[in-house]
Structure 1
Amino acid sequence: MPRGQDALRLCAMPLNVRGFEIYSGYFDVSEQTFLVEEIRSCLRAAPLFQPVTPRGNPMSVRMSSAGQFGWVSDRQGYRYEPKHPSGVAWPAIPERLLETWRDLLPTARPPECCLINWYASDAKMGMHQDKDEADMDQPVVSVSLGDEALFRMGNQTKGGKTESIWLRSGDVVVMNGPARRAFHGIDRVRANSSTLLPNGGRINLTLRVVT
């Protein structure tokens, strides 16, 4: 990518909603296509699987990971593991995503996990905190690809007023400071709102520091 485009992008001010920094259109269409191919390569090494909650209820998203660790959920609980449920090592985090982390958060520790969530048109994610990481002072970076999703942002405790925004393909959200501990979720996906993925759906990538 031309460095001039990088400079223009970094000068753009994010939309700040409840401390969540939302970079609209951070990735252009060509970059989104490139990232999809990179993620497909990751999934060939570590295929999507459908996690269940500790109570045994299946989640509506399918997931995998890249990096030193991957996030898993089953009857043993929520946690990070060094290997895919099949026993294979997680693939490396794509360099373009690491570059994004460095661009937006130059002083943060490097991410150790890229959680890959795939949302079908009927999938959603309930309000939750990202709290399985050892160092919650480190940020989380979220990348949206494919169909639009209604992103709900709440508070550091359950309940209270929330705000929502539609995330579009190519958008990036940074959760840092107080927003790092805030509840958030995906209420619904707007089917066929993007042509990036031939069969529709949404890919969400979240970069995290685990240890």
Structure 2
Amino acid sequence: MLVTVVVGSGIMAQQLSTDMGLQLLENSLATFFGLTVLILLFQQISGSHLNPVVTLVERLVGGMDRTGDAAAYIAAQVIGGLLGAVLANAMFAQPTRWSTTDRATPAHLLAEVVATAGLLLVILMLVRTGRAALVAPAVGAYIGAAYWFTSSTSFANPAVTIGRMITDTFAGIAPGSVLPYVCAQLVGATIAVALVSALAPRGRQR
């Protein structure tokens, strides 16, 4: 559903507006609201694991007990991302095909490092300081904002990145850009873990 929101709202924005800035505004607002609702919806069921880097970090820092569980979540996230793009394409009568939008420039990869580090910082700091109830609106707001302050428009999610490679629309990313993006996202996640360890050590939880 997350990829359906991102891709579907991107297609709708493309159909409704010719101005790129307005298209991005429409896409980012839909993602902000959609992501917030999805996190609230699944928070008490699965912990709202919609993002492989979040799942990997949770496994690393002890929020998930078994590696097998993390692997199952990541598989579900990637499959869900691909199916979400297919669904969005179908709703707008768009063909499901490889995107032709190359995005892997040095500036875009730096933006993905920043976007992912910021996302993980928001989640981990809120959880570690006893404010997990704020994760849904905070993550939605952060991603909505990061659409605008990062040149990559803040994918910050390997499953979303993989899903968006099969839609040749406003939200698409060429297959050749996917691996560099995922690597940048993993770097960003590593930076976030280091920052949280420094800013909020476990002995200082409140």
TM-score (normalised: structure 1) = 0.31
Q: Relative to total residues, which structure has the larger helix share, 1 or 2? A: 2
Highest RCO, 1 vs 2 (Cα 8 Å, sep ≥ 6): 2
